[in-house]
Structure 1
Amino acid sequence: MMLSRVAENLYWMARYLERAENTARFINSTTQVLLDLPRGASFGWDVLLKAAGLDALYDEHYGQPNEADIMRFLILDERNPSSIVASIHSARENTRTFREVLPMEMWERINGLYLYIRDHAARAARGRGPRWEVLNGVIERRQSIIGLLTGSMSHDLAYQFLKLGRNVERADMTTRILDVNSAVRLPSDTTAPETARERLWMSTLNGLSAYQMYRLHVGVHVSGPAVLRFLLADPHFPRSVSHCLGEIENCLCDLVNYEEPLKVARYAWKRLDGERLDDLTAENLHDRLDQMQGDLAELHTAISRQYFHLHQQSALPEQTLSQ
């Protein structure tokens, strides 16, 4: 039997690690967008807070938004539970409580990631040069953890809850990284505005390590509608929302009592599949992405209600890959 408490800890450990990596990607991608903006474009660091849904929490602890304070808030401020340091610390604490269901090396990898960001977070928050280096270090170390889990952990019930958490978090953050681009307003006198916009979308692809796969499966020309189709609806790219929803559905079908969360997942996929992505503009993209984030929040609620908030049933039946 697998306790619902253990399942919840696995789910949240995966979400915290994915959140740390994606926040690093979010910051690096936005930094690149800022570097690629033409003179006079309307864009500020506070867009990062709004896209992440953290603007109200930031306002509780800081004054006027500026790059230095926002970087401190997103990277190392533990009053922000979604900061990179706080997320990795939470993942580490979750891992400590159920090390017996994970590969032996898992604790060493997560503890190493925690020690790395603890030692380098302040340097990352101070300047763009060290920030890029340190955050790439977070991404690389997190990727090594995924490789360890994929190659060394039985793909059993525990693994399904890890995949659930990872894909819910990943889909949500993909929509938030896309949302940054919807906030950019190019000045009316921009020379070659299409070229400028293309550079912005290329920065988004690079931030998600998606540029090479985009070139392979879509083509060398980068355009807003094509990037949106790829990152929202491509069934094969691991960070597309559609692929994440497919992985979530597969995980749920390997569990028991999956009917309600599966219904929510399929509804989210149906709404995405019915979206006319070519008709999305900078003006309406934000609202559509907000809607997707709402669907993912509903999916998280359905998963939590079904598997983690169990009042009478204290355990989940064990399953194997053959079932």
Structure 2
Amino acid sequence: MMLSRVAERVYWMARYLERADNTARLISAHTVLLMDLPETLEFNWFTPVVIFNAEAQYKKSYPEVSEENVMRFLIADRDNPSSLLGSFANVRENVRTSLDLLPEEIWEQVNQTYMQLQAALSSLGSRHSRQMVLRDVMAACQRIRGVLESHLSRDHAFDFIQIGKHVERADMTSRTLEMTSLLLAEDRSHALRRYESILWSSLLSALGGQQMYLRHKNSRVVARDVLQFLCQDLQFPRSLLYSLTGLNFYLARLPEPSSVSVISAKVAEQFAKQDITAIPVDQIHWFMDRLQADLTVLHNEIAKTWFYPETDFSQLQSQSQG
């Protein structure tokens, strides 16, 4: 078994890499949605801040809600630990301190992406330039994951990377679903409902699932089918149930996984049994909040079991979702 501090570093490297990728996807989807909807339709830029539970953090630094302020907070704000720049800085640091475990190409890819992101911060005011930066980040995350998948031995380091990836992907996919639900739950959403198919298409695109949805569902984009696909499809790698099932597989490969596996299996089983289509779309965000709470419990048990086995966990302060 690898050292607990090393296991924690590669676990968090994978989580922050997934967080950076999905943050870029979420911001891109929100921007594309704005451009696809009529200019006369009032649009809430604060929703992405809400789904990161970062309202208080935002209000400390920004007196008003605007596209420019929200984008700076989510992409470039160094005081926001879950900003795109902050996430990639954490990927970089965890890679730097784990070079003896990881393929040597990883450092070059991560460092180059971080430097390019820093250099591009001045262009975030332009929507077109911002979209290009976000696409570059998403492509870089795919390249980094490709190197890990292609060159890393299937040992416990790989297991912890996969566990971190699946925990974070489930969390971030739930937040992306939550964004669409919150937009439809707003008091002014009656106007937005006329364009509901655009919202769900944007959601599928954000998660790279539009083509696979059309293949699997063979139908037009409707809320009920999109929710079932993104929540419970066991063949699509960004669905929630796929990530929860992947977690169970990689946890079972580690020594003494019993307590964690029990929690993970219970979360997956309950999620698989849930009739997603019976939940009104404007209430899905409550269901996603509950899943995020379950994932926090699961993360704490992972940390207690493998990262801090002899520590009073109630006193532990570790890296966390912003």
Asked if TM exceeds 0.5, the reply is: yes
What's the counterpart of residue 121 of structure 1?
Answer: 121
**Distance in 1 (alpha carbons) for counterparts of 2:309 and 2:301:** 12
1:89-143 per-residue CA deviation (whole Å, 9 max, x = no partner) reads 11111111120111111111111111111111231x2121101101000000110
Match of 1:263, SS state, is helix
Answering whether residue 134 of structure 2 is matched by residue 135 of structure 1, we say yes
1:208-244 per-residue CA deviation (whole Å, 9 max, x = no partner) reads 1110111111124111111111111011111111000
Counterpart of 1:227, as a letter, is V
**Distance in 1 (alpha carbons) for counterparts of 2:169 and 2:191:** 37
Q: Note if contact 1:41-1:187 (Cα within 8 Å) is conserved in structure 2.
A: no
**Distance in 2 (alpha carbons) for counterparts of 1:275 and 1:246:** 15
Unaligned runs of 5+ in 1: 313-323
Counterpart of 1:272, as a letter, is F
For residue 41 of structure 1, report the CA deviation from its aligned partner.
4.8
Counterpart of 2:34, as a letter, is L
C-alpha root-mean-square deviation of aligned residues, in Å? 1.6
What's the counterpart of residue 272 of structure 1?
Answer: 271
**Distance in 2 (alpha carbons) for counterparts of 1:182 and 1:83:** 22
Q: Note if contact 1:248-1:265 (Cα within 8 Å) is conserved in structure 2.
A: yes
**Distance in 1 (alpha carbons) for counterparts of 2:197 and 2:280:** 14
Q: How does 1:72-83 map to 2 (within 5 A)?
A: 72-83=72-83
What's the counterpart of residue 155 of structure 1?
Answer: 154
Q: Note if contact 1:37-1:200 (Cα within 8 Å) is conserved in structure 2.
A: no
Q: Note if contact 1:41-1:184 (Cα within 8 Å) is conserved in structure 2.
A: no
Q: How does 1:296-307 map to 2 (within 5 A)?
A: 296-307=295-306
What's the counterpart of residue 287 of structure 1?
Answer: 286
For residue 271 of structure 1, report the CA deviation from its aligned partner.
2.0
What's the counterpart of residue 31 of structure 1?
Answer: 31
Unaligned runs of 5+ in 2: 312-322
What's the counterpart of residue 180 of structure 1?
Answer: 179
Q: Note if contact 1:85-1:118 (Cα within 8 Å) is conserved in structure 2.
A: yes
Counterpart of 1:256, as a letter, is P
1:167-194 per-residue CA deviation (whole Å, 9 max, x = no partner) reads 111111101111111122465467xx56
Q: Note if contact 1:15-1:169 (Cα within 8 Å) is conserved in structure 2.
A: yes
1:242/1:187 CA distance change after superposition, 3 Å: closer
Answering whether residue 76 of structure 2 is matched by residue 87 of structure 1, we say no
1:252-285 per-residue CA deviation (whole Å, 9 max, x = no partner) reads 0100111111111112112211211111213321
Counterpart of 1:153, as a letter, is L
1:229/1:137 CA distance change after superposition, 3 Å: same
1:262/1:41 CA distance change after superposition, 3 Å: farther
